[in-house]
Structure 1
């Protein structure tokens, strides 16, 4: 059976599910590892589970030819070189739904705190100052919440916001059906100019790097607040720092940062430290017991299904084949370059070996093809080697 290495204190629900699924060896390590340490720790592993601090690069993948799957026990996957993983025949799974509620609740809580100026009042009271003024403190009722990125979390934020009396608008690069009374905005600039609260829920990557620039911050009302619980590189931190210190923005709450400490021993550095009207949290948007338990189960289930049956449903970088029960003696998982003739040659090899194909499922994604083939008898070592030696084959495994 398979060996799985779980890093970064992944919730116990993951190991419990994997044990229940009969995974033979589970190794748990408490921290993130850097490249050389990571390569050593993953020697002989069929799969690895990580959170956001462990980075799996093309170099790491090249050194681990036996690695078959990667589980990101979080929403984001930008810590993995997805293209390189696909090129090595390694599907990457994540948890796009499990911490949605936790992040949404944090956003609503921070919206209320910022509009009421609670962070400033709290700091001043700790310093012995008794600041009872209501100036600049507002209810969230009837305020306009602007959501940039109307995906799973953004839409949930909108529903919760309406439940406490906020009006909701959103902007997304794709056309999205509004939930509740949310109103789509034609441009991001229009949203920034109108909203009292702007919250960011966009993916990482070059398309969203420094999405919120100094010029876009200048469009916001001086009484407005900005929240970022998406990706650290989305906001120009220096521009935000200037806007806050110059009073061009009322406040901000950030849970993610361009550069984050690798562990709790490393100091967190940011120009926003010390600002009384800023809430800084250490990337804990999804860090609730409920969310981590759900994430543990969700990603572990995807890894177990892949290792036991070849299922790639919900893989973020790979052709998706839904769960198919293995009901024959042998199942061959073949990852190959997406080019003509591959399946014909493979099936000819099965026929030459006297094997009957009971079921076959093929999907492609860009340059990668993935086919699951069930046959009615055992697969010899010689045939498996022949399938692996096919010029277009990237990876060929037997279940």
Structure 2
């Protein structure tokens, strides 16, 4: 049988932004030898140069893969976001180029939850303010505004994997937990759902946000929502930067309406460590500002490295798109002795029939096949038996089918 796909030792993998070495270990364990780890984020011409001959690309949150960059990276056939968020990638542009994008939606859940719990305690005890005073030589032991968290009400906005983990940890510390989610979620422990966001804000001593970046969540915590919060409450945002109006939050803190805040994500974040960071929240007492480190623990990064790398390997090895954020999910069991053909195309009528004519016209048996489509793209995986030899023109004819975006061969 002919060698129809790119050999693993020729597939070039570029991992940017200090992706954990666990990802490289996964690739090496599966026979991928050409793995490059880059410590920082890249942009502009430097990024385009790195992508030019890459087949698989891994990034974290600071590298921006725009439509022009994706179009120029002609060899790239899959992208891994070694983090939760994927808004740094133009997902539609990637899909229309036949490039699935994978992420790690759950691997850093515990790390984010632990940071939130730590911040709740620090803010309740006014530790940021006391620490700043001690650092400048002021010894102030007054207890004004310092409270235990036991018996206080925690309001969780977004009761997904992270929100529910925070719920369990907080209840273990004696907090009363309320939550609000647009989807009905099973309560863990003694947590109770709230009928509305306004109801949650009005009764919570601490509000923590765990929602994705969507048009519905953009600016959801603005001046009006902040005014609904209890006098002396605190707010924690470890979700997405555009969920909170930081100008309005700064005003609520300076006025004394809120007693504190912890913010890990911002509407605008530096792309590189040498870029300055500026926020209206700087210089306000009892505020914790962290540089998007909610999931930045050794344990979380190692887990993320393994999870995303394994998804990329599965796609490269057998075409599985399970877990892709911008692609239909297709997974066909591997059959020994078969050659697998991956055909990504615009979702137009007649493509599957044309694909099958390419095979039947050469007396090639289809041993397994799976097609799925969305509004834009179709993806068909076919396992083919029969004698495949050089010069049959299978790839040429598959690529010639009207609407074809990308063709790959696996064996």
Q: TM-score range by the shorter chain?
A: over 0.9
The match for 2:242 is 233
- How well do the aligned residues superpose, as a CA RMSD in angstroms? 1.3
- Matches of 1:299 and 1:105, distance apart in 2: 22
Cross-structure match for 1:393:
404
Distance 2:91 2:156 in 1: 27
- Is 1:80–2:92 an aligned residue pair? no
Give the counterpart of 1:351 among 353, 360, 365: 360
Whether 2:66 is the aligned partner of 1:61: answer no
**1:364 correspondence with 2:373:** yes
Q: Do the aligned residues in 1 keep the contact of 2:263 with 2:289 (CA within 8 Å)?
A: yes
Q: 1:339 to 1:328 in 2, by over 3 A?
A: farther
Deviates more, 1:224-233 or 1:331-340: 331-340
Instruction: Note if contact 1:312-1:319 (Cα within 8 Å) is conserved in structure 2.
Output: yes
In the alignment, the residues of structure 2 paired with residue 15 and residue 158 of structure 1 have an alpha-carbon distance, to the nearest angstrom, of 34
- The secondary structure found in structure 2 opposite 1:145 is strand
CA contact (8 A) 1:328 1:374 kept: no
2-side partners of 1:96 and 1:40: how far apart? 29
Q: How does 1:1-399 map onto structure 2 within 5 Å?
A: 1=8, 2-322=11-331, 324-377=333-386, 378=388, 382-399=393-410
Distance 1:255 1:166 in 2: 22
Corresponding residue pairs, total: 399
* 1:260–1:148 distance in 2 versus 1, CA, 3 Å: same
| 1:48-95 Cα shifts (integer Å, max 9, x gaps) | 000000011111111112210000000000000111111111100000
Counterpart Cα distance in 2 of 1:380 and 1:396 = 17
Query: 2: CA distance between counterparts of 1:344 and 1:30?
Result: 47
Partners of 2:187 and 2:374 in 1: CA distance: 29
| Residues 18, 38 of structure 2: 8 Å contact kept | yes
Q: Deviations over 1:306-355 (max 9, x none)?
A: 11111111101101123632523311111122233221221121000110
| Structure 2 unaligned residues grouped into runs of 5+ | 1-7
Listed one character per residue, the Cα deviations across residues 206-229 of structure 1 (whole Å, up to 9, x for unaligned) are: 332212111111111121000001
**Distance apart, 1:397 and its partner CA:** 0.8
SS at match of 2:228: coil
- Structure 1: 5+ residue runs without aligned partners? none
CA contact (8 A) 1:305 1:323 kept: no
Partners of 1:4 and 1:25 within 8 A in 2: yes
Q: Residues of 1 paired with 2:96 and 2:357: CA distance?
A: 25
What is the CA-CA distance between 1:356 and the residue it aligns to?
0.4
Tell me, what secondary structure is at the counterpart of 1:218? helix
Q: Does the Cα contact within 8 Å between 1:144 and 1:197 map onto a contact in 2?
A: yes
Report if the CA contact (8 A) 1:311-1:324 is conserved. Answer: no
CA distance in 2, matches of 1:148, 1:72: 25
Q: Deviations over 1:343-380 (max 9, x none)?
A: 12211210001100111122223322111101013265
Alpha-carbon distance in 2 for matches of 1:379, 1:32 = 43
Answer with 194-203 or 322-331: which moved more: 322-331
8 Å Cα contact 1:148/1:200 also seen in 2: yes
Deviation at 1:261, TM superposition (A): 1.3
**2:389 and 2:193 mapped to 1: Cα distance?**
55
* Most deviating of 307-316 and 331-340: 331-340
Does the Cα contact within 8 Å between 1:69 and 1:90 map onto a contact in 2? Answer: yes
Instruction: State the shift of 1:39 in Å.
Output: 1.5
Deviation at 1:137, TM superposition (A): 1.4
Secondary structure of the residue aligned to 2:258 is: coil
Aligned to 1:395, what secondary structure does the other structure show?
A: strand
Report if the CA contact (8 A) 1:87-1:394 is conserved: yes
User: For the residues of structure 2 that align with 1:92 and 1:284, how far apart are their CA atoms?
Assistant: 22
Distance in 1 between residues matched to 2:389 and 2:175, nearest whole Å = 62
For 2:158 and 2:339, the matched residues in 1 are separated by 44
